[in-house]
Amino acid sequence: MSTFTDSLWQAALPVYEKILAHPFLRGLTDGTLPAEAFRHYVLQDAHYLRDYGRGLALIGARAASDDEFMMFAQHGTNAIVVERALHEGFFSAWKLDREAVAAAPVAPACHHYTSYLLRVAQERPYHEALGAFLPCYWVYWEVGKALTAAGSPNALYQKWIDTYGGDEFGATVRQVLDVVNRVGERLTDEQRAGVARHFVTGTRLEWMFWDGAWKMETWPA
């Protein structure tokens, strides 16, 4: 039987297909992604996850149940603690300390994405915030699974793939999908459409984030 999240995925599928076809992701699996582009991505991801974690704490505080509150509060912590460990493995290989990472400028795509998430978390209803934050969970899991099937000759790229294509991350994503489906059951058609709009927007911003890393995007002025 079709679920609410099935309908969300169908709405964003054309964007997801463009994500999978992006040269940044193709370069992870065939090993041709320039090291500088991957480094740009990881530095921006470190900035992104700090704000993403804070946004999860905000939407957790607005959750209708204690279980949802505790889940998002824990996920907000994990976004910083667990993925910091992943990043620090990369930074160690590049001989970058935390001060150097913090000093790296926030690029336009990262700034756009995090500003959008934090605005939605603070200003829009809880169900819309779920739609905005879901792509970072779900799109990454689907990308991770797709890239796991291909693998990578580059050890650093394979480490990234293993993180997002693995069972532990998948279990986290399933938790969130269950919440979104439960919330979706009590929404009107209009409210569901609002969730879908944010889910598609978030998926587009995921594409922009990888595209910005591919181009090693900086501010034009």
- pLDDT value at residue 102: 76
∠ CA(177), CA(67), CA(201), 5° rounding? 35
Query: Higher pLDDT residue, 208 or 159?
Result: 208
Give the integer Cα–Cα distance in Å for 176 and 54: 17
Give the integer Cα–Cα distance in Å for 151 and 158: 7
* Mean pLDDT calculated for residue range 8-36: 97
Per DSSP, the residues of 28-90 read HHHS-S-HHHHHHHHHHHHHHHHHHHHHHHHHHHT-SSHHHHHHHHHHHHHHHHHHHHHHHHH
Q: What percent of the chain has pLDDT over 90?
A: 77
- pLDDT value at residue 79: 77
* Mean pLDDT calculated for residue range 28-49: 93
Q: How many domains does the chain have?
A: 1
Q: Tell the residue number behind the tokens 């700090």, with chain if given.
A: 50
Residue 105 resides in a domain = yes
* Mean pLDDT calculated for residue range 94-103: 76
pLDDT in tens, 135-180: 999 999 999 999 999 999 999 899 889 988 889 889 999 999 999 9
Residue 56 resides in a domain = yes
State pTM to two decimals: 0.94
Residue 126 resides in a domain = yes
- pLDDT value at residue 81: 72
Residue 100 has pLDDT above 80, yes or no: no
Residue 191 resides in a domain = yes
Residue 221 resides in a domain = no
Domain extent for 59: 4-214
- pLDDT value at residue 82: 64
Residue 170 resides in a domain = yes
- pLDDT value at residue 3: 97
Residue 76 resides in a domain = yes
Residue 124 has pLDDT above 80, yes or no: yes
CATH number of the domain to which 26 belongs: 1.20.910.10
Q: What percent of the chain has pLDDT over 70?
A: 98
Residue 220 resides in a domain = no
pLDDT in tens, 68-94: 999 999 998 887 776 667 667 777 777
- pLDDT value at residue 77: 83
Residue 182 has pLDDT above 90, yes or no: yes
Mean pLDDT taken over the chain:
92
